[in-house]
């Protein structure tokens, strides 16, 4: 067994395999270059997080919702993404720090989306890199306050 996969559960192994086989986590600078070349930016944070600050021209479809019992996966995520993009589109997926984005990539790849990349570090990395969004950088930092 591959040493990277050793000691991991079946679901986690599938999760890692799906990303390494079909998709890729890219650095924020690479993601910026991809967006400049016309890739779509899919922000999978909640609407509340998105409204505090986001990348220009981003599409927002929440991957998870915050409930009194914690985060719950959006049961309509794939249908909502399919309604605003095609499976052939080149998509950069991001959340706040990378976790939800990576999970969303796995779901998209497993659903037949062909060109999906996760932006490592998420929107927090975008802000930390000094890239401008639709709000001044000082205000963008507020959107990342809750990150750990």
Active site residues: 95
Mean pLDDT of the region 12-41: 75
User: Are residues 41 and 94 in contact, defined by beta-carbon separation less than 8 angstroms?
Assistant: yes
What average pLDDT does the structure give for the chain? Answer: 81
Residue 16 counted as domain residue: no
Q: Categorize the per-residue pLDDT at 50 as very low, low, confident or very high, splitting at 50, 70 and 90.
A: very high
Is the residue at 90 inside a domain? yes
Neighbours of 40 (CB within 10 A): 20
**Range list of β-strands (E), 12-63:** 24-26, 40-43, 59-60
**Span 138-147, pLDDT tens digits:** 555 545 544 4
The reply to whether 100 falls in a domain is yes
Q: Is residue 27 part of a domain?
A: yes
Task: Tell me the pTM.
Answer: 0.78
**87 part of a folded domain:** yes
Residues 6+ apart with CB under 8 A from 48: 66
Strand 115-119 to 24-26 pairing: parallel
102 belongs to a structural domain: yes
Q: What's the Cα-to-Cα distance from 82 to each of 31, 34, 76, 111, rounded to whole Å?
A: 21, 20, 10, 10
What is the total count of domains within the chain?
1
- CATH number for position 50: 3.40.250.10
pLDDT confidence of residue 4:
38
Model confidence at 16: pLDDT above 90: no
Give start and end residues of each alpha helix (H) in 37-135: 47-52, 77-84, 99-110, 122-128
57 found inside a domain = yes
70: in domain? yes
Residue 62 structural domain: 23-130
Each residue of 59-99: pLDDT tens digit?
999 999 989 989 999 999 999 999 999 999 999 999 999 89
């Amino acid at each position: 067994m591959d040493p990277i996969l050793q000691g991991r559960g079946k679901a986690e192994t599938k999760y890692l395999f799906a990303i390494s086989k079909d998709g890729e986590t890219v650095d924020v600078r690479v993601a910026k270059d991809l967006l400049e070349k016309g890739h779509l930016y899919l922000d999978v944070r909640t609407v509340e997080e998105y409204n505090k600050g986001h990348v220009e021209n981003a599409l927002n479809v929440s991957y998870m919702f915050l409930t009194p019992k914690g985060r719950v996966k959006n049961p309509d995520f794939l249908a909502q993404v399919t309604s605003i993009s095609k499976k052939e589109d080149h998509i950069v997926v991001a959340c706040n720090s990378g976790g939800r984005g990576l999970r969303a990539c796995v779901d998209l790849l497993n659903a037949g989306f062909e060109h999906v990349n996760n932006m490592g570090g998420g929107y927090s990395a975008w802000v930390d890199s000094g890239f401008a969004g639709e709000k001044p950088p000082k205000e963008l930092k507020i959107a990342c306050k809750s990150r750990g």
